[in-house]
Amino acid sequence: MLHHIPNILTKQQVQFIHQEMHKVEWVNGKLTAGTLSATVKQNQQLPEDHPLTHQLSTLILEALGQHPLFLSAALPLDIIPPLFNRYENNEAFGFHVDNSIRRIRGSQQRLRTDLSCTLFLSEPDEYEGGELVIEDTYGYHEVKLPAGDLILYPASSLHEVTPVTQGCRTASFFWLQSMIRDDANRHMLFNLDQTIQSLRVELGDQHAEVMKLTNLYHNLMRKWAEV
């Protein structure tokens, strides 16, 4: 399932990121692409080992850890530190699938990439083209979100970034391993959690039905979670 998670970053945080990015020289995005992906990838990235990449990654990870909707939808076990890219002058990234296993930067730890994340850092009216197109069983979905918003989708999906014909599209991208490997199970838990949150507001935390559904949620987590 695809999840639009709004307001991961504030507009002030997005502005700060842009100001800092202008101070750094970008590199060819093919440096971090797999063998097949490199043939269809044309973009630029912040150097993976640059201090600014680490600084901005930390900012985003802290924001994610405080965002209830992201945590509910992703149920993250661990997150690969975010990277940053930009597209301009007809740059694009053709249809590809993300690597199933990735190494956490600066360590030997490897994660299974259950979910892919794109955090938009440019407003939609700042560039033309540049849609993130994701294929699933229901067809193709074009995504172009406000700056500070994130799209969360299965890493197993074929996806592309269409050519940016005017302006510049900047984003952060990263992957995570979820406590719940199966996408359908994860989505059921998300719907159940959102229902519980609504009922807590309407009925109160101690209402019998709220307690029953909360018990069901945690028992399903015990059954499905990998930690």
Residue 132: per-residue pLDDT: 98
Rounded to two decimals, the pTM is 0.94
Angle at 144 (CA atoms; ends 97, 191), nearest 5 degrees: 75
Whether 3-178 and 183-224 share one fold: the answer is no
Q: How far apart are CA 211 and CA 204, in angstroms?
A: 10
CATH of domain 183-224: 4.10.860
The pLDDT > 70 percentage for the chain reads 98
Residue 5: closest CA among 56, 67, 55: 67
Question: pLDDT per residue over 128-178, tens digit each?
Answer: 999 999 998 889 999 999 999 999 999 999 999 999 999 999 999 999 999
Intra-chain end-to-end CA distance of the chain, in Å: 22
Tokens of 13: 């945080």
Q: In what order do the strands lie in the sheet with 159-161?
A: 93-96, 159-161, 132-136, 139-143
Topology given in CATH for the domain delimited by 3-178: Jelly Rolls (2.60.120)
Residue 17 φ/ψ region, left for φ over 0, alpha for ψ in the -120 to 50 degree band, beta for the rest: alpha
Nearest-Å Rg of the Cα atoms of the chain is 18
Q: pLDDT value at position 34? A: 63
The pLDDT tens digits of the residues spanning 8-59 come to: 999 999 999 999 999 999 999 887 666 667 789 999 999 999 999 999 999 9
Q: For residue 162, give the 3-state DSSP assignment.
A: coil
Please give the helix or strand (H or E) that residue 31 lies within, else none. none
pLDDT at 108: 87
Count of beta carbons in the 10 Å neighbourhood of residue 122: 22
Rounded to the nearest 5 percent, the helix, strand and coil shares of the chain are 35, 30, 35
> Which pLDDT score is estimated for 35?
67
> Which sequence spans correspond to the domains of the chain?
3-178, 183-224
